[in-house]
Structures are given as C-alpha cells and as structure tokens.
Structure 1
Amino acid sequence: MGKNRAKFEEVKSCGETNEDQKVLSSPKEGKGKRLWKKVKYQLVEYHSLPGYLKDNEYILGHYRSEWPLRQVLLSVFTIHNETLNVWTHLIGFFLFLSLTIYTAIKVPAVVDIPKLQNLPNVLRKADLQKLGRELATCLPSLRHMRDWHIMEILCKCLPERFSHINHTDVCVLPSMKEEVANLIAPLMVRPITRWPFFAFLGGAMFCLFSSSACHLLSCHSKRFSYIMLRLDYAGIAALISTSFYPPVYYSFMCYPLFCNLYIGFITLLGIGTILASLLPVFQNPEYRNFRALLFLAMGLSGVAPILHKLILFWNHPVALHTTGYEILMGSLYGLGALVYATRVPERWMPGKFDIAGHSHQLFHVLVVAGAYTHYQAGLVYLRWRDLQGC
C-alpha cells in the first residue's frame, strides 16, 4: 500500500517545477496549492520583469508578468498599472461605436423635412395653392401668406445650389416645374456620400480597441507582446490616416485632383508607418521618442490640406469653423504625443503614479478627446456639403 502511494505521488509530481513540488509535498496539499496560485499571479516590480515587458522605468510596481491567458483576461476587472490604460480606450471604443450607430441612423439626411417628400410632384403640377398647404403643414407661419410670398420664402429656404440670385438680391426660381423638382429631389433622397466619415469612425474604433487589447494581453508572453504591439501601432496609423479622409474629401470633393492626391498621400504614409512598425527594433524602449515623432509627423502632414482649404474658402464661415475644430484636435493629439514621449508626470515622482495618473493614461484620454473633436468637425462638413454641394 505504501509503495503504491509513493508511486502515485511520483506520477502526480511529474512535469511540475521544483517550487510546485515543494508546496504540494507538504501535508496540507490543498491549502499549499491555493497559496502557490495566489503567489504565482501576484503583481511584481519593474526589476522582476523580463526584458520585453520593460518599457517605462518610472513605473516601479503593480506589473503582471507572463500570466496564463485566462488570468490575463480576468485581470481586466482587477487593479494593476494597466487597468486604466485598458479602460480609457475600451470606453472610448464603445463611445465611438455608439456614435457610429447614431450617425448611421440619425444623420443620413442633414436637411430633414419629411413632410415635404411630395414637394417635387407638387411643383410639377405648378399648383401653388397645394404647395402653400404643403408648406403650411411644416411651417405654420406660412398659412396666411399669398402665393408669391410662398415662392419667395421657398426660394430663400432652398440651399444656395438650388437657386439663382440676381443683382437686386431677389431670389428667382429657375423653373416652376421640372427644373426645381429635379434639383430638390437629390436633397431629399441622395445626400453627399458618407464613406469618408464612416472610414474615420472605423479607424477610431480599430485604434481604440486594438490599444485596449494590447494593454490587456501583452503581459501573457513575448510572442503575444510582439503581436499586440504591432496591432497597437497599426491602430494608431489607421486613426491618423482615416482622420484625414473627411476634411480632405469634403473640402476638395469639387477638385478631384487635389482630393485624390491628398487622400492617396496619407494612405501611403499610413501603410508605410504600419510596415515600419513591423520591424522588431521598433518596439525597443530607446525608440520611444522615434515612435512618437513618426506618428506626430503623420499628423503634421495635415497642415498642407488645411492651409489649401483656407485659401480656397477664405470667405466661407464653414472653413474657419472646421479649421478651429482641426486645430483643437491637432493640439490634443500633439499634447498627447508630448506627454507620451516625455513620460510626465511619473518621471518627476517615480512610483507615485503606478496605478493612476501616469503619462500613458493621460495620452489615452487626450486621444479620445481629439477623436471626438474630429467627429464634431465631421458633422459640420456633412451639413455644409449636403446643403451646398459643389
């Protein structure tokens, strides 16, 4: 009986480390095993990390190191020095997912006059009395106006591209029947294309989700860390590149040469940045400033189309409005890159910002704020082009 038990213990201990055997060979095996697991998944200090996890020497503790995948996934709900890095961008991802759904449902027609869907048919019949009744259902103030008043107000309500202004600033409709109907119809059913705007929203979601996944999973193993960091860099490049699409497309949609030139350039620059990030040396801590400068250079390349837009539309209020948003967005991104590169504030007080307040968390918050600012600018572009066209 004793020999059999010894044999069983020998088989049971097969494949375990020496430390495991020391714990499990004690009389209280169950308690020792639980204690070992607790110690095994304990947070460690910076000097105990393997080389590939050493990135910021000013963050001194609360690291996860080479945990099993299950424990890594569960750590999203525990406190460590990556918790806020994960959640700042995970919350940002859900914010932009909600904005995407909202935009798809609520923003397809910026000029939303659902009660006038039959207006083209009314104009074709040139029935001004019926037109007056149709408008009165939407605009009660028109109920007591005469037909010529109605047509004058209708003309003023139409976008600039749907009317001709004479020298006396009196609005004159181009045609009472077919021409006006054909011009109004596209406004009702075919707004300006949205793909550049949704490309930006997709790039923002990809960046935020990949960043969150990187901070959560990189501590699992060296191979996981390599893959996740590449995904994170690709997400940053995608966000910067797609951020160009709405301002470039909607600013230069009437100038196809410049539109294609700017979009093609930033797309190639983004692809080149992603390819450069695949190099193993790219993730070394000594290249931290180089990474920040590379992504900052991508963002600064947007200065050229912004200046070009201001030259083309210098007397248009929308140009100044959207440029204000873009300057704010660039300032937020630039400040985030500066904080990331200089590792402020933890470099001033190492160990004091391990859990909350260190540079990477501030960088994440600034990125989400910058992306949301750009979303607001995109709405201005959409309304401008839907109302004015080329």
Structure 2
Amino acid sequence: MKTDGQDSPVPVSPRSGEGTSCSGGGCGGPSKGKRLWKKVKCQLVEYHCLPGYLRDNEFILGHYRSEWPLKQIFLSIFTIHNETLNVWTHLIGFFLFLGLTIYTATKVPKVMDLHSLQHFPEELTTCLPSIPHLSDFQKLRNELKTSLATVEGMLPSLPNWHLLELLTNCLPQRLSHANHTDDCVLRSMKEDVVNMIAPLLVRPISRWPFFVFLGGAMFCLLASSMCHLLFCHSAHLAYIMLRLDYAGIAALIATSFYPPVYYSFMCTPFFLNLYLGSITVLGIATILFSLLPVFQDPEFRTLRACLFMGMGLSGVVPILHKLVMFRHRPEALHTTGYELLMGAFYGLGALLYATRVPERWRPGKFDIAGHSHQLFHVLVVAGAYTHYHAGLVYLNWRDLEGC
C-alpha cells in the first residue's frame, strides 16, 4: 500500500539503470513533444524523487514507478519493479480462489454422488436375511429393523433418520401384491431403500455463506492486485485504489466469519443473527472509516494494522462459543485448528506490515523481492486458503447431520 508521507528527501545514491531526475514523474516530460514522448521509455525512480502521495515506506529505496501513463502502467505488470510481486502474489491468489469457487459450485454440493449408489443394492443384499415366510409380516418387519440398523452403520449419519418408518409403512402395500419369490420381494425392498435414501444424500445444506466468503476473498485479492498496479498513475487514482484496497481487506475479514458462524449456529437463530450482524456492522464501519483521508497517512500505518487485526480478533467470541456448544464433536476441534492457523497467518502478516520487517534492517536490499508487503500478501493467501479448508469441514458436517 502506498500512502501520503513527508516530502523531506532521503539521501540515496543513484542506482544504475534507474532515472535520477525527479521531474516529469520519471517518464520523459511532455515539453519534449508528442513524438519524443512516444519514444521515451518510462524509467524507475528512487524514493526521494517521488511525489508525496507515493511515499510510504522509506526503507524501500528504489525501483519505483511514478506518474506513468496508463498504457505503460498496464504493461509494467510484465516488468520488474518494486511492485511486481505485490501485483502477482494477489493476482495468482485471485485465480486460485476463482478455481476453488468453480470447484465448490460443481463438486462440493454433492454429499454423496448418486453414482456411488450403484453398488448399494448388492451391499444391502448381504444385510437383508432370507425371509422364509413372507406371510409373517411382523417377523419381516422385525428382520427389516435389524437389517436397516446394519445399513445405517454403513451410511453417513443423515438428518432426520426416518427411513425405517417410511419403509415399513410401505411394506403392507408391497406385500399385498406380492406373488413373487423371496428374491423378488427383497429386490423391491432394496429399490425402496435406495429411492428413499438418494434424495437425502443429494440435498446439501445452504451454500451461500461459503460463497460469500469466497467472493470476499476474490474481491480482496483482485482489488489489492489492481491497487498495486495502478496507484502510481496519479494522486486521484491512488486515492481511489487505496480505498478499494482497504475495503477489500475489511470484506475478506468480515466474510471469513460467515461460514463458521452460520454453520456453527444455524440451529440457534439468536446467536446466528447476533454474530453475523455484529461482524457485518463492524466491517461496514471499518470501510467507512477507511474513506477518511487521514487514514492513509504513514503515521497511521500501525492503527490500520491494529484495526484490521481487531476485526479478526472479534472472531474469538463465536469460536469459543462453538467449542463450548460442540465440545464433544471432532468437527468443532478440527475447524478451530484451521481457524487458529488462519489467524496466525493473518496476524504474522499484519505484524510484518506494521513493523516493515525485514527491509527496515537492510534498507534497499529488499526493494524487488522479500519486503514486508510481499510477505504480507503471501500470508493473506495462505490464511484464506486455510479458511477454505475449514469451510469444507463445516459443509461436510452440516450436510450429513443438519441441525
């Protein structure tokens, strides 16, 4: 992120291959004429040559783009400068989450693919005993209860397990028309079981909270990538892109709460609405606060990091509540482990961003690769990807059990 700073120059020795003039934005001045303007290549400049709105990190000394034309800015995505990796780390992350969204939409909703039922009748045949006297309906009913208890152990736990009642209620009609052998009746019973189980197996729980998170992640990553690519064009565009970047961060943090809160408290509407409403209001307030011009001043760097970290730490309350409610559920511990890892990634990234480590230790040595903002970007993608896996655990849990 690039923000307003002091205009006092920082003494820096010129680097080979970089422009040393501080006029014309590092890109041949328009006074040279249009023909010369087209021939002059935009040059990278050093920190002390930057206008005030582009000064953010005095420990990154060179390889800056300054007030370039938009055409050259877009082409610079394929060149080397101090924002190249900032652009690509989140642009690659955007395409990663776009692929995950497509995968989730096409594959994950199927709790159990119907094709997996093609061998189910054979498995059921081994569970259903031979019925010597079809006229003895009570015996058949009792045998069927025992058999279905065995079948239930073969299947995942389903919400509202009423298959036994449904099946036994239809048996009298089946038997009243049964002039068949034992095998024929057993085959009909197997078909009943499969036909009743199949609709339940392909009825997934609501996916919208998970897609809200995926949408927030993609918005954050794309907004950040575009901000780092375009902000050097002008003060006006930089102001717009920075606000978009801050909004993306707030959106990612806020939408990250939606899957864990929704799927943990979907059966308790009061807490569901309380937690979702709170994080939504907090996210909107953070976005509105980020619109203030003072929010981008360098002296507020630590405040920005603390504000976003505070949003993330607010998730401790619903996570602890979930652990208390579902302390005997392995899914609760599993998802909490993912969430702690996600928090560690985000927290470490925010710490590096606020302290400007490692470039503050060796100014100028991490201009191209390895400075704090690039590490922050990588950790954000890692944290969001970790949270995606936590979301899959939530979906599998609620798909199989419901409330």
Contact persistence 1:110–1:386 (CA under 8 A): yes
Match of 1:305 in 2: 318
Contact persistence 2:127–2:151 (CA under 8 A): no
* Correspondent of 1:176 among 164, 167, 177: 167
Q: In 2, Cα distance between the equivalents of 1:20 and 1:379?
A: 55
What's the CA shift string for 1:184-218, capped at 9, x where partnerless? 46523421000000000000000000000000000
Aligned residues: 339
SS in 2 for 1:176: helix
What's the CA shift string for 1:233-253, capped at 9, x where partnerless? 000000000000000000000
1:319 matched to 2:305: no
Contact persistence 1:59–1:350 (CA under 8 A): yes
Match of 2:121 in 1: 135
Residue pairs, 1:183-198, within 5 angstroms: 184=197, 187-198=200-211
Structure 1 residue 134, shift from structure 2 partner:
5.1
Which residue identity does 2:315 align to in structure 1?
G
Match of 2:52 in 1: 51
Structure 1 residue 161, shift from structure 2 partner:
3.5
Q: In 2, Cα distance between the equivalents of 1:231 and 1:208?
A: 11
Contact persistence 1:155–1:173 (CA under 8 A): no
Structure 1 residue 154, shift from structure 2 partner:
1.8
Q: TM-score, normalised by structure 1?
A: 0.81
Compared with structure 1, are the counterparts of its residues 19 and 299 closer, same or farther at alpha carbon in structure 2 (3 Å cutoff)? Answer: closer
Which residue identity does 1:65 align to in structure 2?
S
1:248 matched to 2:261: yes
1:338 matched to 2:329: no
Structure 1 residue 374, shift from structure 2 partner:
0.2
Match of 2:139 in 1: none
Q: In 2, Cα distance between the equivalents of 1:336 and 1:329?
A: 11
Q: In 2, Cα distance between the equivalents of 1:251 and 1:336?
A: 27
Compared with structure 1, are the counterparts of its residues 60 and 244 closer, same or farther at alpha carbon in structure 2 (3 Å cutoff)? Answer: same
1:208 matched to 2:221: yes
SS in 2 for 1:66: coil
Contact persistence 2:114–2:198 (CA under 8 A): no
1:155 matched to 2:152: yes
What's the % identity of the aligned pairs?
69
Residue pairs, 1:1-390, within 5 angstroms: 37-38=40-41, 41-114=42-115, 116=117, 135-136=121-122, 139=123, 143-147=125-129, 148=143, 150-156=147-153, 157-159=155-157, 161-163=159-161, 173-177=164-168, 184=197, 187-390=200-403
Q: In 2, Cα distance between the equivalents of 1:351 and 1:134?
A: 65
Match of 1:7 in 2: none
Structure 1 residue 155, shift from structure 2 partner:
1.8
Structure 1 residue 110, shift from structure 2 partner:
2.1
Q: In 2, Cα distance between the equivalents of 1:272 and 1:361?
A: 27
SS in 1 for 2:257: helix
Contact persistence 2:47–2:61 (CA under 8 A): yes
SS in 2 for 1:114: helix
Q: In 2, Cα distance between the equivalents of 1:60 and 1:88?
A: 21
Which residue identity does 1:73 align to in structure 2?
F
Q: In 1, Cα distance between the equivalents of 2:304 and 2:107?
A: 38
Q: In 2, Cα distance between the equivalents of 1:247 and 1:376?
A: 11
Structure 1 residue 49, shift from structure 2 partner:
0.2
Q: In 2, Cα distance between the equivalents of 1:19 and 1:260?
A: 57
Contact persistence 1:110–1:382 (CA under 8 A): no
Contact persistence 1:162–1:184 (CA under 8 A): no
SS in 1 for 2:159: helix
Compared with structure 1, are the counterparts of its residues 106 and 288 closer, same or farther at alpha carbon in structure 2 (3 Å cutoff)? Answer: same
Q: In 1, Cα distance between the equivalents of 2:262 and 2:253?
A: 15
Which residue identity does 1:135 align to in structure 2?
P
Which residue identity does 1:173 align to in structure 2?
L
Compared with structure 1, are the counterparts of its residues 305 and 186 closer, same or farther at alpha carbon in structure 2 (3 Å cutoff)? Answer: farther
Q: TM-score, normalised by structure 2?
A: 0.79
Q: In 2, Cα distance between the equivalents of 1:145 and 1:55?
A: 70
Q: In 2, Cα distance between the equivalents of 1:48 and 1:261?
A: 50
Structure 1 residue 277, shift from structure 2 partner:
0.4
Which residue identity does 1:43 align to in structure 2?
L
Which residue identity does 2:167 align to in structure 1?
M
Contact persistence 2:243–2:290 (CA under 8 A): yes
Contact persistence 2:63–2:368 (CA under 8 A): yes
Match of 1:121 in 2: none
SS in 2 for 1:173: helix
Q: In 2, Cα distance between the equivalents of 1:287 and 1:33?
A: 38
Structure 1 residue 116, shift from structure 2 partner:
4.1
Structure 1 residue 375, shift from structure 2 partner:
0.2
Compared with structure 1, are the counterparts of its residues 301 and 265 closer, same or farther at alpha carbon in structure 2 (3 Å cutoff)? Answer: same
Q: In 2, Cα distance between the equivalents of 1:266 and 1:277?
A: 16
Match of 1:129 in 2: none
Contact persistence 1:49–1:65 (CA under 8 A): yes
Contact persistence 2:113–2:202 (CA under 8 A): no
C-alpha root-mean-square deviation of aligned residues, in Å? Answer: 2.5
Q: In 2, Cα distance between the equivalents of 1:367 and 1:19?
A: 39
SS in 2 for 1:197: helix
Compared with structure 1, are the counterparts of its residues 260 and 33 closer, same or farther at alpha carbon in structure 2 (3 Å cutoff)? Answer: closer
Which residue identity does 2:101 align to in structure 1?
T
Structure 1 residue 114, shift from structure 2 partner:
3.4
SS in 1 for 2:167: coil
Structure 1 residue 383, shift from structure 2 partner:
0.3
What's the CA shift string for 1:267-286, capped at 9, x where partnerless? 00000000000000101111
Compared with structure 1, are the counterparts of its residues 112 and 95 closer, same or farther at alpha carbon in structure 2 (3 Å cutoff)? Answer: same
